[in-house]
Structure 1
């Protein structure tokens, strides 16, 4: 009996030690609300929509202590539409994130799988939409991917520890194509610095021949609507797509002020409509200038405001079409608890040069202006 008790005690100690060295956590977020748009194709729109602030998701994150300040890490994150129960990210089981790797307190972490690029990691938090704001606030067509329109498949990511407020990282996405090493590969790098209330970051991303289903990026951020091609049904980027920028923020008491500039350039664009080529050998460039801020009136109530000026140029040989967008938004959130809040957001966009306005996540307006409002509830678990 005594031996049995000792054996049980030893097994219990081993089990406790194992539990202390490893962890697996289930987490998630559910966001749903009503969205109104004054003009989508000439008609008003009322919709019950998922992810007006943050896309609904659930995931599992875990680690195993390997000793010596080193641990194995993994994360699997699923995206879904709470209104119909369907999977997001082209019906992937873990479309938002899926990776495994090793993290070291001294040397940083290396992870492998489907992951965010450095623009998302380092620059997106300085935008309103990437820093807790509404989907409507994204830059036109999410041309810089600061709203996470795509992830990097087949990727290896490095993230450094923080050295005196400075950190850096990078991602490389393999094409996974025999004989086509550079065909649909992707890479990005970024760095950030924090000193008290001041934060700053910079990042660069390059996609080579993006768009194939087996490569690093299976979607593109260029949208045919930017050049007003009626009936455009397919688009090919025959060369490369680059995005880079800088951002900064400063905290002043209960307020935070943020500013960011991003540039996206796309080379050798070809567009087809109903199988017939309508645009070849074009290039497109976008510059986004945004300033935004958040003020906490109370511990529960926060007010946000943002303004973005975007200019673009689409060129064919020596000709060029220029367009401009002005996007102005306001948002309030009220925390019912640490995990649940209510939100209300409104945004107005004005376009020029014959381009119709189009708030991100909405269909195109029939005019150069569009206004949207959304209200809903967000719960984290």
Structure 2
């Protein structure tokens, strides 16, 4: 009892004195993006319960950048060591609702330690594809936002999906070279691999040139990756409806995969005035028809077995016309998905944007995206155009024109 009393008396004083020495800070930050969209073709249901294509006018958030409110904290522990955390939530400014499937801190939530040789973090985090290839994609470096995502973000370059229960290490830069690795624990009793995720990546920067590569492997993706949000289902297809008004015809029919794999490389060359980049990704939905994916009548309504493989080839350009005017352009060709006698699908996607910077923190922009589809998509229908965050078309073509405003704080 005396020892306990002594600890109760002394420990708070020690913590208080340590806090007085350490330098710490907490930063509040965020992004708000909202705009008005014209969509040439969007799936709808008519009075006879038939699916038809109609013009649609909408407002939406999180297109040029993800709406977010974040808290970032750092405490200096001395000798080059720091404690850190990030808590970041996504929200829809049009409705006030949480994004990321209703998850409160759905964008990021982690705590960790930083040392002279690297940083170790634990929590809900981005995988290595996002960390290394998103900065070399049209969505980020190209200034095109989520409408430039490859095939409804089939390779996760636009960070649609996060990783729960992850431990990640990222090295400091050694002469421009950075490496990182991440592992997510599935947490299933009796199975180490069930629902587990791992990824690793590397980048090298030298002056105006930068290259990167990353690998991602997900087990039971309908549960562990596509379905890692609060409102996700343990039985249904977490990639969206495959009938009626569809959610994701590009790869929604492959939710029963036992594994999901992405191999990606990219490069960029440029300055603050002009930059050009290109990237490639190989996406594999392995061993379709896995009962662990959920209710197979929902996750595999077309009875697929085997592997569905896609390849994406993309390029982008960014040009600073004046200090206040930026022009961007991007192109992506996505092909694949042939399985069980089903022909592959092909998607040609063209993007262009004009940005006008009212200040360092406020940007108004005009963004256009046009998609041409062909072949047979994952739902065994003639491929329809489909763009991330937008209702898919009921035909092979879709055009979107958006006027928006984005503010950083």
Instruction: Compute the TM-score of the two structures, normalised by the length of structure 1.
Output: 0.88
Contact 1:177–1:214 (8 Å) recurs in 2: no
Describe the superposition over 1:289-333 as per-residue Cα deviations: whole angstroms up to 9, x where unpaired: 0010100011111100001111112312xx242111110110011
Q: SS in structure 2 opposite 1:297? A: strand
Structure 1 runs not aligned, ≥5 long: 1-13
Structure 2 runs not aligned, ≥5 long: 1-15, 44-52, 290-294, 376-381
Describe the superposition over 1:21-57 as per-residue Cα deviations: whole angstroms up to 9, x where unpaired: 1010000111001011100021001001111211211
Match of 1:118 in 2: 128
**Post-superposition offset of 1:137:** 1.1
**Post-superposition offset of 1:217:** 4.7
Contact 2:168–2:183 (8 Å) recurs in 1: yes
Match of 2:12 in 1: none
Match of 2:88 in 1: 77
Match of 1:39 in 2: 41
Aligned match for 1:299, one of 316, 320, 323: 323
Q: How has the CA–CA distance of structure 1 residues 299 and 266 changed in structure 2, closer, same or farther, with 3 Å as cutoff?
A: same
Q: SS in structure 2 opposite 1:90? A: coil
Which shows bigger deviation, 215-224 or 113-122?
Answer: 215-224
* 1:226-375 aligned within 5 A: 236-252=255-271, 254-270=273-289, 272-273=296-297, 277-316=301-340, 319-353=341-375, 354-375=382-403
Match of 1:28 in 2: 30
Q: Counting strand residues as a fraction of each chain, which structure ranks higher?
A: 1
**Post-superposition offset of 1:283:** 2.0
**Post-superposition offset of 1:125:** 1.4
**Post-superposition offset of 1:186:** 0.3
Contact 1:330–1:347 (8 Å) recurs in 2: yes
Q: SS in structure 2 opposite 1:182? A: coil
**Post-superposition offset of 1:279:** 1.5
Which shows bigger deviation, 266-275 or 145-154?
Answer: 266-275
Aligned Cα RMSD in Å? 2.9
Q: How has the CA–CA distance of structure 1 residues 39 and 321 changed in structure 2, closer, same or farther, with 3 Å as cutoff?
A: same
Match of 1:3 in 2: none
**Post-superposition offset of 1:242:** 0.4
Contact 1:295–1:303 (8 Å) recurs in 2: yes
Q: SS in structure 2 opposite 1:280? A: coil
Distance 2:299 2:258 in 1: 21
Q: How has the CA–CA distance of structure 1 residues 170 and 55 changed in structure 2, closer, same or farther, with 3 Å as cutoff?
A: same
Q: How has the CA–CA distance of structure 1 residues 315 and 62 changed in structure 2, closer, same or farther, with 3 Å as cutoff?
A: same
Distance 1:185 1:216 in 2: 13
Contact 1:78–1:93 (8 Å) recurs in 2: yes
Q: How has the CA–CA distance of structure 1 residues 119 and 303 changed in structure 2, closer, same or farther, with 3 Å as cutoff?
A: same
Q: SS in structure 1 opposite 2:134? A: helix
Match of 2:47 in 1: none
Contact 1:38–1:371 (8 Å) recurs in 2: yes
* 1:90-109 aligned within 5 A: 90-105=101-116, 107-109=117-119
Q: SS in structure 1 opposite 2:339? A: strand
Which shows bigger deviation, 235-244 or 323-332?
Answer: 235-244
Q: How has the CA–CA distance of structure 1 residues 334 and 20 changed in structure 2, closer, same or farther, with 3 Å as cutoff?
A: farther
**Post-superposition offset of 1:282:** 3.8
Distance 2:222 2:242 in 1: 18
Instruction: Compute the TM-score of the two structures, normalised by the length of structure 2.
Output: 0.83
Contact 1:190–1:203 (8 Å) recurs in 2: yes
**Post-superposition offset of 1:130:** 3.3
Q: How has the CA–CA distance of structure 1 residues 230 and 213 changed in structure 2, closer, same or farther, with 3 Å as cutoff?
A: closer
Distance 1:380 1:280 in 2: 45
Q: How has the CA–CA distance of structure 1 residues 201 and 214 changed in structure 2, closer, same or farther, with 3 Å as cutoff?
A: closer
Match of 1:203 in 2: 214
**Residue 152 of structure 2 corresponds to residue 141 of structure 1:** yes
Q: SS in structure 1 opposite 2:337? A: strand
Distance 2:55 2:307 in 1: 34
Match of 2:3 in 1: none
Distance 2:73 2:157 in 1: 26
Distance 2:212 2:138 in 1: 15
Q: SS in structure 2 opposite 1:124? A: helix
Describe the superposition over 1:163-215 as per-residue Cα deviations: whole angstroms up to 9, x where unpaired: 01100101100001111211110000000000000000000000011233699
Distance 2:107 2:247 in 1: 32
Match of 2:407 in 1: 379
Distance 2:129 2:59 in 1: 30
